[in-house]
Structure formats: structure tokens, C-alpha cells
Amino acid sequence: MDVKTKPLFYRTAEMMCGLLCLLISQTVLAEPVKQSVLHPAGLLWKIHKAGQHDSYLFGTIHISDSRVMELLDVVQPSLQSSELFAMEVLLDDSAMQAISAASFFEHGERLQNYIEKPVYNRILSIMNQYYAIPPVLVNKMKPWAVMATISSPPPESNRAVLDVELQNTADELQHPVVALETVEEQIEALSGLAMSEQIWILNKAVEDFEKSMGLWEQMIEYYLHRNLQALVDIQQSMMDDSSTIDDRFMEKLLDQRNIKMAARLYAIMKNKSVFAAIGALHLPGEKGVLHLLEKEGYKIERLY
């Protein structure tokens, strides 16, 4: 499939690949919490273990900003020297269909039945103005799907997000492409929340929408400067002490997925030189993929 010809697919891919964006964009105006993390800086890492080929791990940001796309040139040599490309989830027609099926209510349920009218009207306005999704479709979407959409940056063009461009490059190099997660697993990370929890987080996303829009430039700058510590600080600042929902959400979105992706990386790196691309926020910290690799005996070297 040539994903460059499918603009609607980009929005679907951004919605699911935007888990990193979702974590950061729901930030409030609180001062960032300073919490020193392992591997606080760096986007491209070499992974080595005796008896195995060198592999590479790249932290992406799931947007299509032109400045971000310049990193394709930075990682090209490492991607070319690898034998296989791995990403969070394969972005193909079957993934789009699965996401679409999971995103919409069945049996006549409607979003307006779960959301207070002023918030619902605000959702319709945001979705139409910024994401070009008409009210009739929004009303059929589940809260988690609306939440994931408005927590990703509005599209600037029909260009694919960075992850999809990397996939296109791997295809051009005729590298096999594999997934570190199934699309069902990524969907479950959001849709697995109880309805009351989905509504709580959606309300929070709507309340913070304007503030979040103003945060994107800062987030991109941190990313371009390879400052993972700053991204973690922003994410930590959004945690709501009055509820445990955020804690459970973070556990599903980061920690549980890190374990799965690291384990699947171990398996494929035993026999192949792999270039893996995952959201940058999955890299740092005690529970980050980089440290999980170290615990398995891999040596890591920051290249960029």
C-alpha cells in the first residue's frame, strides 16, 4: 500500500500513533515536576550484545512537522545498514479498518448520551474546526477515540507522520517491516478504560484544549533538542493528584507497553540487525525500553 495516497489514513494513524502526544498534550499550567530520569537525552541509540548484530532504536514523535522530517536524513544511514524495520504497529489497511471499527459505537449509542451538553457542543466545534470531522460522525465516536483525536496536533497537510515516512523509507529499501504491538493492543490501551474513565479523561482534554495547542511548539523544540528529560517533566506535570485514573492510564500507555515492546525486540534482535522506531517517551526512565534492554545485557550507545 502506498500510504502517501491516503490522507484519511494519516488521521487514523496519527490518532493511534499519537499516544506520546496524548500523554504530553493534556498538560495543565502547573510547573513541570523535576524528576531525574535514566537516559535523559538522545533520540537515536545503537544497541549491542555479544554474538548479535548491532541494532538501532529511534525515538519518534508522531507528527508531520517539516522540522521533524529533517531527522529522516539523520537516521537514514542506520536504517540502511539494518536488515529489518520495526515500529509500534503496522500502519496498513487492516489496521485502519480495525481502528475504525473500534472507534465507533454500535447498537445506536451516541456520544451525546454520555457527555454534558456544553462539553458536547465544544467537542463538536473542536472536531469540526481543527480536524474537519463533521458532527454526525463525532456523535458516533466513542469517548476514547475523540480524546485521542483532540490530543493530537491538528493536521497541517496530507503528509504522513514521521513513523509512516520511516515505514515508507523501509519499504523503498525493501526491508521487511514488523510490528512490536498489534493494533488490537494499541486500541485496548485506550478503549480498555471503563466508560466513566474515558469520559473523565475526555472532559480533561476538552478543558485543556487551548492550553494544549499552545504547548505543541514547546514540545517540538524539546524533541528537536533531544531533551527526553523535558518531555518527561511535562508529562509528570499533568498528573492529577485528586484521581487515580491518570496513574492507571499511564500504566497502560507506557509501562505495560514498554515491557511488551522490549520483549519483542529481544526476540527479533537475536537473528537480525533491527532498526526500531517507537515514541520517544518510551525510551527513558527506570521502566523505559532503553533500561529494559540494559537489564537484558545489551549495551546502548547514544548516536544522536
Extract the C-alpha cell encoding 250: 499511564
Helix (H) or strand (E) holding 214: helix 209-224
| Residue 26 clears pLDDT 70, i.e. is over it | no
Decide the pairing of beta strands 55-60 and 44-48: antiparallel
Short-list 303, 300, 202, CA closest to 249: 202
Length of the chain in terms of residues written: 304
What is the arithmetic mean of pLDDT over 162-179? 95
Pick the more confident residue, 274 or 98.
Answer: 274
| Residue 96 clears pLDDT 90, i.e. is over it | no
| Residue 258: partners with Cβ closer than 8 Å, 6 or more residues away | 282, 287, 288, 289, 292
Range of weakest confidence among 15-19, 91-95, 185-189, 296-300: 15-19
pLDDT for res 29: 36
Extract the C-alpha cell encoding 289: 525500553
Give the CA angle between residues 257, 200, 135 to the nearest 5°: 100
* CA 264/CA 88 separation, integer angstroms: 11
Burial label, 171 (beta-carbon count in 10 A; 0-12, 13-18, 19+): middle
> What percent of the chain clears pLDDT 70, i.e. is strictly above it?
86
pLDDT for res 213: 83
For residue range 203-222, list pLDDT tens digits in order: 989 998 988 888 888 889 99
For residue range 29-74, list pLDDT tens digits in order: 334 445 679 999 999 999 999 999 999 999 999 888 899 999 999 9
What is the pTM assigned to this prediction? 0.87
The DSSP output letter for 155 is P
Residue 186 has a CB neighbour count (10 Å cut-off) of 22
pLDDT for res 240: 67
pLDDT for res 238: 63
* CA 61/CA 83 separation, integer angstroms: 23
What is the arithmetic mean of pLDDT over 93-115? 91
pLDDT for res 160: 82
pLDDT for res 3: 36
Pair 39, 283: CB distance under 8 Å: yes
What is the arithmetic mean of pLDDT over 274-301? 96
| Residue 121 clears pLDDT 70, i.e. is over it | yes
Short-list 259, 246, 245, CA closest to 291: 259
* CA 15/CA 103 separation, integer angstroms: 10
* CA 126/CA 128 separation, integer angstroms: 6
Q: Where are the domains of the chain?
A: 3-302
- Report the chain's mean pLDDT, rounded to a whole number: 86
pLDDT for res 158: 67
pLDDT for res 273: 98
Strands (E), 101-227: 177-179
pLDDT for res 252: 85
| Residue 79 clears pLDDT 90, i.e. is over it | yes
Range of weakest confidence among 10-19, 107-116, 174-183, 234-243: 10-19
> What percent of the chain clears pLDDT 90, i.e. is strictly above it?
61
For residue range 228-278, list pLDDT tens digits in order: 999 988 777 766 677 777 778 778 888 999 999 999 999 999 999 999 999
Extract the C-alpha cell encoding 41: 537525552
Taking the mean position of all CA atoms in its chain, how far away is CA 282?
Answer: 9
